[in-house]
Amino acid sequence: MVPKRPLRHRLSVTGLPFYYGWVIVGAALATQFIAVGAQTGVIGAFTKPMTEGLDWSRSELFLAETIAHLVMAAVGIRVGPYVDRLGTRPVMLAGIVVLVPSLLLISQVTELWQWLVLRGFVMAGGAAMVGMFVASVAVSKWFVTLRGRALGFASMGVSLAGVVWPLLATLAIDELGWRAAWALVAGVALLTLVPAALLMRRQPEDFGLEPDGGAQPTAAQRAAAAIDYDESLDRRAALRTPAFYLIVITFALCIVGVFAILTQGIPFLTDHGFSRGEAAALSSTMSLLAMVTKPPWGAAADRWNPKALAGIGFIVAGLGTAMLVPAAQAGSLPLVAAAMVIIGLGWGGNIPIHEVIWASTFGRRHLASVRGLGFPVTASIAAATPLGLASYFDAVGDYAGAFYFCAALWFVAFVLLLFVRRPPRPADRAAEAEARPTAASDR
């Protein structure tokens, strides 16, 4: 039975001229903008100033990123059930208390161990509680038939982080120094995250609302919402399905390609003679294309097979990544820009379609708990990517071979996606059982 909320809480959600789920979408966009920006959007801009200023190697700097993603994996497992039970707001507020002070303290680091502790452990724990995993689950609980569209808009925050943060961080570092720039990141995070977290609510049923916000939902919409909630698979059931493992591995491989460009793209371009401003602008162009195409990708996922759409995105992203290397080696700004545009177009559908596949495969009732189980694999691969790339660079002196490898992984992910099948739900089994006697009598 859904617990009854206090009257003032119900009115804050139901007494609006529009569906409150869209407020959740806006809040999710804002939190992802900060969490992704602070975690990956700024690191490319800080790489050279920090390694040169503190006399660290790139491997040492990115060791913190590896630790961070392992910590996020551990936190993701723990917070998933709390999100399902308590809602997103208390989890996010706890994350803010951890994230913002850690960002401020990073501006004062002088030793490598301080960086590893603050960036690798403390900040990562906070980011896991306010970031993409928690925000996407919140949106998925408020939408069913419009889920792809809603996730498309919400995930614009991820790409917006890629547009704004490289430029903002580069400008702040060049004008104020890298220490003041980290303090600026902390201030922006505080001012954005607190209001966004306070707007979060657990699920529409808590307030007597229907998913998707229809005042008079059709019978088909009611049936879809009921099936999506009542026949959701819990952790134990999800772990018994091949689809769970295939989805986890497929999108974990995609993370390698994404993180390679996000964390090492700016250093890669500056190593080939592009200025810091040019590299930041190119990175932002890529993220801008990913951002503006997210809503169309999401809307398409509501109408067509999301697996087929994901496969198209994988191929486009792989081709763009493979094109980037020779374009940068040739020093051609137009060719690099074209490669970044292609990558951005391919990336655009990755997050909304990924989340649609998770929710449509396992349902929304236990979604945070199920997603939390897959998070360690994704986060572990994300953890290895920055350090692996930095170690490759320290050993070889260039990123070319590593980027070609990342391009190939997009095509491997495409092949794995072909084998993903939606596991049968109780209604499916009942329909099959009912059909068997009929089929036998026909014979």
Q: Please write the tens of the pLDDT for every residue from 98-119.
A: 999 999 999 999 999 999 999 9
Q: How far apart are CA 325 and CA 322, in angstroms?
A: 6
Residue 426 has pLDDT above 70, yes or no: no
Residues ≥6 apart with Cβ < 8 Å to 101:
186
Per the model's pLDDT, the better-predicted residue between 441 and 119 turns out to be 119
Residue 43 has pLDDT above 60, yes or no: yes
Q: Where are the domains of the chain?
A: 20-209+232-423
Q: How far apart are CA 227 and CA 171, in angstroms?
A: 50
pLDDT at residue 110 in the model: 94
Mean pLDDT of the chain: 83
Residue 163 has pLDDT above 90, yes or no: no
pLDDT at residue 166 in the model: 83
* Lowest model confidence (mean pLDDT) among 42-51, 167-176, 325-334, 359-368: 359-368
Sole residue written with tokens 């209001």: 195
Q: What is the pLDDT of residues 296-352, one digit of tens each?
A: 888 888 888 888 888 899 999 999 999 999 999 888 899 999 999 999 998 888 778
Q: What is the pLDDT of residues 181-232, one digit of tens each?
A: 999 999 999 999 999 999 999 888 888 888 877 655 566 656 666 665 666 7
pLDDT at residue 198 in the model: 94
Angle at 258 between CA 256 and CA 262, to 5 degrees: 115
Q: How far apart are CA 256 and CA 262, in angstroms?
A: 10
**Nearest Cα residue to 139 out of 70, 88, 185, 197:** 88
CA distances (Å), origin 19, targets 11, 12, 212, 213, 275? 12, 11, 8, 5, 46
Q: What ranges in 107-201 are assigned the alpha helix state H?
A: 112-115, 123-130, 132-142, 147-154, 156-176, 178-199
How many percent of the chain have pLDDT more than 90? 30
Per the model's pLDDT, the better-predicted residue between 187 and 149 turns out to be 187
Angle at 413 between CA 411 and CA 419, to 5 degrees: 120
Angle at 311 between CA 305 and CA 316, to 5 degrees: 130
Structure tokens at 143: 């939408």
Assign 32 a pLDDT band (cuts: 50, 70, 90): very high
pLDDT at residue 220 in the model: 60
Q: What is the pLDDT of residues 376-407, one digit of tens each?
A: 777 777 777 877 888 888 888 888 888 999 99
Assign 76 a pLDDT band (cuts: 50, 70, 90): confident
Per the model's pLDDT, the better-predicted residue between 7 and 236 turns out to be 236
pLDDT at residue 118 in the model: 96
Assign 8 a pLDDT band (cuts: 50, 70, 90): very low
CATH top class, domain 20-209+232-423? mainly alpha
Residue 435 has pLDDT above 60, yes or no: no
pLDDT at residue 7 in the model: 42
How many percent of the chain have pLDDT more than 70? 88
